[in-house]
Amino acid sequence: MCKNGGSLAIIARCAPIIRDGKRGGVRAVFLDITEKKKLEEQLRERTAQIQIAQKMEAIGAIAGGVAHDFNNMLG
């Protein structure tokens, strides 16, 4: 938890520190990937929106074709 009440997404990498053949401790590296996760979620949302728009466009084209054919049959 952050001071502001939010949360962080992190990657933690740890490796032993070995001195004279004995473990002397652990080296840890923490990477903050919070912003990356937010951007990935936005990308997923936008991709879903684009897919919906493409489906609507296809339905519109089909409906237009059906209406055109029906109009030709009436004429």
Give residue-wise pLDDT tens across range 17-31: 998 888 889 999 999
Compute the average pLDDT of residues 18-46.
93
Compute the average pLDDT of residues 49-64.
96
pTM equals: 0.62
Q: What is the pLDDT of residue 36?
A: 95
Residue 53 pLDDT greater than 80, yes or no: yes
Residue 6 pLDDT greater than 90, yes or no: no
Q: What is the pLDDT of residue 33?
A: 95
Is residue 56 within a helix (H) or strand (E), and if so which, with residue range? helix 34-74
- Rounded to whole angstroms, the maximal C-alpha distance in the chain is 94
Collapse the DSSP code of 34 into the 3-class scheme (helix H, G, I; strand E, B; otherwise coil) and give the result.
Answer: helix
The distance in angstroms from the start CA to the end CA of the chain is 70
